[in-house]
Chain A
């Protein structure tokens, strides 16, 4: 799990060019809203493409996406489950 989180953090920082350090992101860091990473809908789509390339996990359903794209941890758990 911690390995997945680490890879996910790298993905967020490199692919979305977030101006935060990996240490600044925790499992519970929200993706949207107050004190979050401040992602938008285009970032989410980017992330879906990145997750497919890095982990081989596809996210095709909008409802699934809305559920898992809340925190870094929630995405990691989904990846672990589907791998």
Chain B
């Protein structure tokens, strides 16, 4: 039961809220969200001869995402080069997520089970790389894995290998680099989930004669699942759109979607294709995020 005066107050409060948010929304509209719509428009235009676009409607950019047109008989064939890049992006992103989880989970568990003071210290050690420039961290890992780098010097010094392992400009190098730079994104949400975990449940498990493996699989993992999903999304989504790390470690050949998009706006001179690739990447990320919202929503049921 609300009186007219109360109604007026609620409306005034909402108006006030919108007015306060307006500057932020305006900045975001012209500096972030709005231009995304232009990309959608560009993906349906014809490419200009020297970059840019001609304002003629065309679905060529979308067709050429997956198909190439045969120059002789005009038939459509699957574009192998594009599929290879999509597949590499997906493969590297999934592997990055798996690797960061495999090493990030024990790390997060280790941090969360330290005494309070030490915990703050270990957590700080994870936070520093988290906030450190991605470019710097990519440089750092490059100096370790390159042919004349620390890893080869150390391995050859120990006599384990006689020839340096040449890893730069391969998918393996990109994968190692991505796992290295995105690891903190996995550890932090995992830590947050484990930190809330009630350790008495472990006692209960062991009292009921569960083995360590059983406790891990049946008690710990199901309860910290929201943290696992959050960490996986935080790693998977930026991996899919990665640009800097594959550019430095993959060289020109081992492109991921992000580098392929840039190529279209540079030497490729195919802006519509670049735009359709961007929209496709955005849609992929949205699917991943929706999946996250659905699973995370379910995970918050009391039954977990």
Q: Do A and B bind each other?
A: no
